[in-house]
Structure 1
């Protein structure tokens, strides 16, 4: 059990969402909020958040899009418990499932995630390359941040299995790994949209947000990059609106 002294409560979406999270280890931030802003769900959709952690991305999406049927999937029981508590504290209906995203299909089915049952999957998988990134000695932080060679393929495969035909997968990944993302999506996905995310204008992208459709056939779209900060290093008003949940990203279909 997590002691109260080991938990902080932090405001997201300009205070619309308050989340408890562990003081140490992986902590939710901009990546989760940008991912939520990139998803075009609608009321009634079954939405599954892979690697949900404390529930930041899924709950931020639920705050913007009322009426989704949200499942938060997390391998770490302590983080899953915080996700459950966060959903309750914010009066958001969500089920929390303790499950390894790389588990066998039977484990998914026994938790209500049968094939062709989801409309939307979102994911923020571990994406740091262990060959170039020194993993944290904190086990939870290491699990959340460092990927193996098979991580992305395994997560995308699991998403493909539970998504309905024309269901949508949206993920965030490090920008220099876009080739890995496209390779993982090459089986079963199409109609790919890519949004580069830049920390500063004039600098290379640090993240990519990617939207793909199961069975989609439209050409791949590379969208204009999102600049988190302008040249004066002040947050842009459009970015502020996104981070406060008042606007969506251009991956979202009109």
Structure 2
């Protein structure tokens, strides 16, 4: 029987980012790296990752953009501890706190996440539809993968509360739930940049990456779709470059502000 505390050390960004994560439960993968590659940030920005797990997305972003004030938010103390250790092991300055994203404003304030105090939020919430997804018997894995009726709205509400005016939220969600995302963002967010992600070019999109600006008023932008694999199943050159940390995705450079020097790979 596998020890629930057992971990592996896995390479991301072509091996430049090394993360220790649990053998059991949720394990970081492509979604976290795609999210990081679609997130725009500049040195000095206060950046918060909601539902950070072992810190994959936030640390991948920090590996690309130096000088961030990075906070990793995770409700599982064991994962938060791993995120903290992963940051230190990779020489990245970041804090990790134990906090449920669906908690109230007082709980956020207790960890110094006050209203209108953050420049960038990135998040990969549990997004599988419980009516169509057979949950894992592992409770931690199920909690990380399956959404409840309040998950998306609660997470977007929390992001809206902590972001400064003009601050940006970047999130990844399942593509067939796009209408839910747009509805959740309708209050308080605008200047949306949307990127469909397809497993193969001849198949429907499986993910959607969205960047939204608090108080933004620019028209919606829909970028050309990203394909992770060729029709043969071979990874595309773009997918390899993104997963290796050599290229960013369009939402990371879409902003009403002038692009910073760290916006290109």
Pair in the same fold by TM > 0.5: yes
Distance change in 2, residues 1:223/1:100 (3 Å): same
Q: How does 1:110-189 map to 2 (within 5 A)?
A: 110-189=110-189
Q: How does 1:1-254 map to 2 (within 5 A)?
A: 6-253=6-253, 254=259
The gaps in structure 1 that reach 5 residues or longer are none
Deviation (angstroms), 1:239: 1.6
Give the distance between the partners of 1:25 and 1:223, measured in 2 at CA: 33
SS of 2:164's partner is strand
Deviation (angstroms), 1:6: 1.1
Give the distance between the partners of 2:241 and 2:27, measured in 1 at CA: 22
SS of 2:103's partner is coil
Deviation (angstroms), 1:210: 0.4
- Contact 2:102–2:158 (CA under 8 A) maintained in structure 1: yes
Give the distance between the partners of 2:202 and 2:136, measured in 1 at CA: 30
- Contact 2:191–2:217 (CA under 8 A) maintained in structure 1: yes
- Contact 2:54–2:82 (CA under 8 A) maintained in structure 1: yes
Deviation (angstroms), 1:133: 1.0
- Contact 2:241–2:247 (CA under 8 A) maintained in structure 1: yes
Aligned pairs, number:
253
SS of 2:252's partner is coil
Q: TM-score, normalised by structure 1?
A: 0.97
1:106-160, CA deviations, whole angstroms, 9 ceiling, x for partnerless residues? Answer: 1101101000010000000000111111111111101100111110000000000
Deviation (angstroms), 1:234: 1.4
Give the distance between the partners of 1:88 and 1:4, measured in 2 at CA: 23
| Higher alpha-carbon deviation: 5-14 or 185-194 | 5-14
- Contact 2:5–2:22 (CA under 8 A) maintained in structure 1: no
Distance change in 2, residues 1:242/1:172 (3 Å): same
Give the distance between the partners of 1:249 and 1:210, measured in 2 at CA: 11
1:40-89, CA deviations, whole angstroms, 9 ceiling, x for partnerless residues? Answer: 10000000000000000000000000011100000000000110110011
1:153-193, CA deviations, whole angstroms, 9 ceiling, x for partnerless residues? Answer: 00000000000000000000000000000000000000011
